[in-house]
Each structure stands twice: as C-alpha cells, then as structure tokens.
Chains A and B, each alone.
Chain A
Amino acid sequence: MLHEPVPNLKKLVEPDRVHRLAYTDPEIFELEIKEIFGKIWVYCGHESQVKKPGDYQTLTIGRQPMVMIRGKDMKVRVLYNRCPHRGVELCGNLKGNAGEALTCSYHSWRFQLDGKVESIPLVKGYDGTRMSLDNPDCSMRAAARVDSYRGFVFASLAPEGPSLPEFLGAAKIAFDDMCDRAPDGEVEVVPYCHRVIQHSNWKFFMENQLDALHPSVTHQSTGAASAWVERDIKQKTGEAPLYYHYLSAFTMSFDKWDSVQTLNYPRGHGILKGYMGLRPDDPDTKAYVAAMYKSYGEEKAEKYLSRDIHHVLVYPYLSVQSPLQQIRVLRPIAPNKTLSEIWHFRLKGAPEAIYRRSLWYYNLVNSPATMINADDLENWTKGQWGLESSGMDWVSFHRDYGRDQENADGSIYSKNGTSEAVMRSQFKAWTEYLTGGK
C-alpha cells in the first residue's frame, strides 16, 4: 500500500514502464476517483436522451450518483441524485420522466425540475432553524459545471479547471466528425445502450483502444470465421454485406496494422486512423453522399466524408467511433471492475440504410453477445490477475520507445502504428492528473 501517494506515484511511472500497482492498488484507485474523475469533464449523455421537461437519465460521476434532467425552461441540468434532507435517491430508475416535480420517497420533500425545493411537508417545523426554504441547502445540488458540445452533455464536479473545449482539445474532432457526417449536422441518440461489466482496471480498455498489435491476435477466431463466411457468400453471390468485413478486418496482417497510425495528444487523448474502408460504392452510400452534397456542397461534404479516423479517445474514459456513430463510456467501479456503457447514434438526415449498416458494427462489437469484445474482456481479466500477482512489478511499454516524433500541434506520433507511444502518452497524462503537475 502507498501511504504517501504523491511522492510514491512518481516512482510508479517511468517513461518506458509502469509499476503494476497503478492498475491494482485500492488507494491509487481512490485517488483517481478524487483527482481525475472528480475533477475532469465527464460525459453524461446526449441532449436527445432527455427531450421533454422532466425526462431524466441517471449516471455516476466517479462515485457520485447524478441525474441529467431537462427542466421546464428546456435547459439540461446535471444534479446530485439525492435528497438534501437525508440523502435518499430521488430518481429511482436508469431513465424516465419525473413528471411535474421530484418527490422524495422518505419525507415527501418536493423539488422543481431544476432542483430547487418546491415544498416541504409541515414546513413550519423548520421555523427558526437554519433550514428554511430559502436556504440553498434545502435544494438539490447541481454539478459545479455543465456544458455541452454539439449536443453531447458533460459535467465537472470541480468549480475550477479547464473549460470543456480546453479539456477536449484535439479530441473535439470526435464530435465534429460524428455530427458533420449527418446531412443535418447533428445526431440523435438511440434510446437504450449495451452495458457490460469489465473485470479489469479501466486503463486496460483505454490502452487497448489504440493498441494496433492486438486485433489480429485477440480476434483471430472471429476474424477468420467471418472471413470464411464472407468468402463463401462472395463466391455464391458476388458481394457480401459490409458487416462481414467489419469482423474480418480485425485479422489484417501485423504489417498492415503497423501502418495504421496513432496520434497522441496532451491530456492522454488519442486518435487511431481509419483502416476499414467504410465507403463502399453501393446505392445506399450514393444516396447518402448525395444528401451530404446537398447539405454542404461537394467540397465540404468530401472533406467531412474523407476524414481519416477510426476512433478517438477522450482520456481517461471515452472512446468515440465517429464514422460508425458509437460512443463507449467507462464508469470505473473498483480497481478491478469497470462498467462500460455503449451508445449508438443516428445521423440526422441520412438514409435509414446508413444507420442500419453501422448498427451491425455496434451490435457485433459491443453487445452482451459480442464475438469481438468477448476475447478483449478475457484478455483484460487475465491481465488484471497477472498484475495483481507479485510475479513481476513492471509493465513494459518499450515498443518503439525513443523513436516517438512530435507534430507541430504537440501530438506525438510514431511511424509505426503498433508503437506503445499510446500507453506512454496516457501515463504521462495520468501522472500529471494525480500529482497536479508537481
């Protein structure tokens, strides 16, 4: 156990390797909850999730139970989901509509949809005490800061700190890319998500997302199985649906994966460039491209359609796959337990066929019956066990160490896509968060 977290933390992270305790130690995890998740901008949901006044979605930020709720003034707020009186949870479901007001199930304190106390039974009982109705302590507390970017709502529990655009930095492109691909310039959430528990530290997931060496190993069985069926269909009918390619593409050769570049930005954000070739020449795509040309003109539409992104990481908890309109959100629970929520979006103004095509990817890769993540989850579980053992103390991130290069915009890249520059960059950010840059 680390009893002096800050000085010891620095000893845990070296430029080319990290001590296993970073993944397993309960005190470090608590520090992450406090110093990272308790301060940064955390994704709460999309505005289209709460369309009408009273619509709500509950979530956790770090360990805090929160509720994203639309008020009668149509403003979306993020409030602590607890009664200011005795702490009882107010919105009892994952999502729903609160009606005219929120009522506590314990002593019937009532709150307006903006969190302000509306009534307390036998309120004269509080006469002469400091808990009068005009005391803000009688109302629900709001997250210190709430902001949104292109319909995506974020909250920060810290009153001070970088603004949302500052926090997102270069990773902002994730939301631009997704929304720009919609002929109407915005997306709409599909109202239910896949939720899967990972029995591993949240860092396994974040590192895995830009780990270009693992797919052809980890996903070999599914890639090979899909390639076999894809070939069979092609032989019989000439063309196979794109979703077989979604799966078979995982088993590209090591060399090909090595040529897929990653870009690593300050704060641990990152981009994995495209590799799947998601623009086939079929009637559905043609109709979609035509709709894009109509909305933006050819030049702009082509710029939007040819952005070279597979997915974007918003460190330390979000993976946005903008060309396939999905978002994976991590909610860390314990050093060895992480909840992932995977949301899907529709491109407003795009043909239904485009949504359905991306839906195949969403289901095949993320559903609770996925043939892809099944093997990732297995790796991370086994990895977690290994790091909990004292067999060895150091986790190696030496691949292409010393050969990282820097772009003019401050991003770190490597000529080799399989470089562990990704992990080195993420741990640099992690150390800065936990030590406050000291």
Chain B
Amino acid sequence: MAAKKKLALKKVVKKAAKAVKKTAVKKAAKPAAKKPAAEKVAVKKPAAKQSAVKKPVAKKAATKVAARPAVIDTQRAVEQFLYQQSEILDTRQWQSFIDLFTNDGIYWVPITLEQTEWEGSPSIFAEDKLMMEVRMRRVLHPNAWSQAPMWATNHLVSNVVIEKETATEVRVRSRFQLMELRRDTVRHFGGTYRHTLVKSAGGYKIKLQRVDMFNSQAPYDYVLQIWV
C-alpha cells in the first residue's frame, strides 16, 4: 500500500512538472517570436547551469532564459530547486529529502541568529545525513505513536536572493511560510532559509541548509517532528 501511495505521488509530481513545462513553453513562445536571433543563440549554447530538478524542467529553463544574463538563469534554477524541496516535504518523500544533501551535508535550525556553527551550541535541529536517517526511520516506524494523528504541511518559499555564486557553489537566501495541520489545529511557522548549494553533475546538492525560525526563541506548542 505504501508503494502504491508513493507511485501515486510520483505521478502527481510528474504531472506538475509537465504542467510547468507547458506554461513555460507558452510563455517562452512570445519573446521568441519577437527576438528570433536570441532563440538561435539559445539553441547553440544551452545554459550550462546546474539544476537538481528533473530533466524536462531543466530543458525548459535552458530554452526559456537563453537570452538573459546567466545570473537570471541561476536564479530560476535555484528557485525551481527550492520549490522542489518544498514539494518533497509536503508529499512526504523523506528519502528524496535526504538525497538532496551532499554526503557531508548538514540540516541546521539554530535557536538564535548569532549562532554561526552548527555544532557546539543548542539547536532545534542539528543533523547530518545519518541523523536525518534516524529521523526518517523513526517517523516511518509503525509505533511512532505521535505520527498517528492527521498531519500535513504546506510550504511556500519566496523572496529568493542569490547572495553569492562561485564556479562550484551558490549561496541562496529565501523566506518560507509553513502551515502544519496536526489533529484539528493548524500551526503557523515562518522564517529564513539559507542554502549553500554545491553544483554537481546531477544538479544542485545541499551542503548546508540553515533555517532561522522567526519564532525560534518563543515557546513551542508541542514539537516539530519533521524538517521545516
């Protein structure tokens, strides 16, 4: 049954990707008609920017933004990456979430803005990939009692700013809103994501995701069971 669910989810994600592609092509058609020269350049020189998103989406990004400066190209690829990470969380693909990280990748939610190291001071989350695996195995365990009630999340990512880009890395800052349904109540969270993304052949990988919850020092009504 779990496999069936997963398959269904995959279908949904694929469908969404297709839809994105369709609209992208539609939109891309207009400027292409106005500036055929630019379109040609695009065909000759597909953007080499990395993207972790699925192939069709990457292709779309390449054709669409061809005539624009490379920085806009990165901007779009990074945004797509962040959207996909949100989708992965909201569709509960825990292994896919872990796979977004490099082997030495870290997921970190500090308590205060002043903290600069993921180790050595109190944190809300401070997890390497192995601890992420503990968390995944825990929530999938049949006797994870607190997982029994109705639960769902809805993420929105916005205000995406590329802080720095080098040949190998991109540092991105964005804002998120998270609504979480648990039992009959909805909780609201928000804050800042700071991703350090590494460019690799397979697209972006997360070296460090720092999440600054805007309410990090307020009391938590119950706890967070999965990554924000």
A interface list, Cβ under 8 A from B: 94, 190, 192-197, 199, 218, 220-222, 224-226, 228-229, 233, 244, 247, 339, 344, 352, 355-356, 359, 362-363, 367-371, 373-375, 377-379, 381
Contact = CB atoms under 8 A, between A and B. Distances in A.
Nearest to A220: B143
A218 B145 contact: yes
B123 interface: yes
B131 to A, nearest CB: 8
A363 B135 CA distance: 14
Interface residues of B, number: 36
Nearest to A370: B223
Contact of A356 (B120, B217, B225): B120
B137 to A, nearest CB: 3
B146 A377 contact: yes
B65 interface: no
Given A197-B219, A221-B141, 12 more contacts: A195-B218, A196-B222, A221-B147, A222-B134, A222-B138, A225-B141, A226-B138, A229-B130, A229-B137, A356-B120, A359-B121, A367-B223
Contacts of B111: 192, 194
Interface of B: 109, 111-112, 119-126, 130-131, 133-139, 141-147, 217-225
Nearest to A378: B146
Question: Which 4 A-B pairs give the minimum distances between C-beta atoms?
Answer: A225-B137, A221-B141, A368-B220, A378-B146
A192 B146 contact: no
A363 B126 contact: yes
Residue from the set A94, A233, A352, A359 with the largest chain B CB neighbour count within 10 Å = A359
A355 B121 CA distance: 9
Nearest to A373: B223
A229 B146 contact: no
Contacts of A229: 130-131, 133-134, 137
Contact of B124 (A226, A233, A367): A367
A378 B219 CA distance: 17
Contact of A369 (B144, B147, B221, B224): B224
A369 B124 contact: yes
Contact of A197 (B131, B134, B143, B222): B222
Nearest to A368: B220
A375 B130 contact: no
B128 to A, nearest CB: 10
A220 B139 CA distance: 11
15 contacts: A190-B121, A197-B219, A197-B220, A197-B222, A221-B137, A225-B136, A225-B137, A229-B130, A359-B120, A359-B121, A362-B122, A363-B123, A367-B122, A367-B123, A377-B222
Contact of A367 (B125, B143, B219, B221): B125
B120 A225 contact: no
A370 B130 CA distance: 16
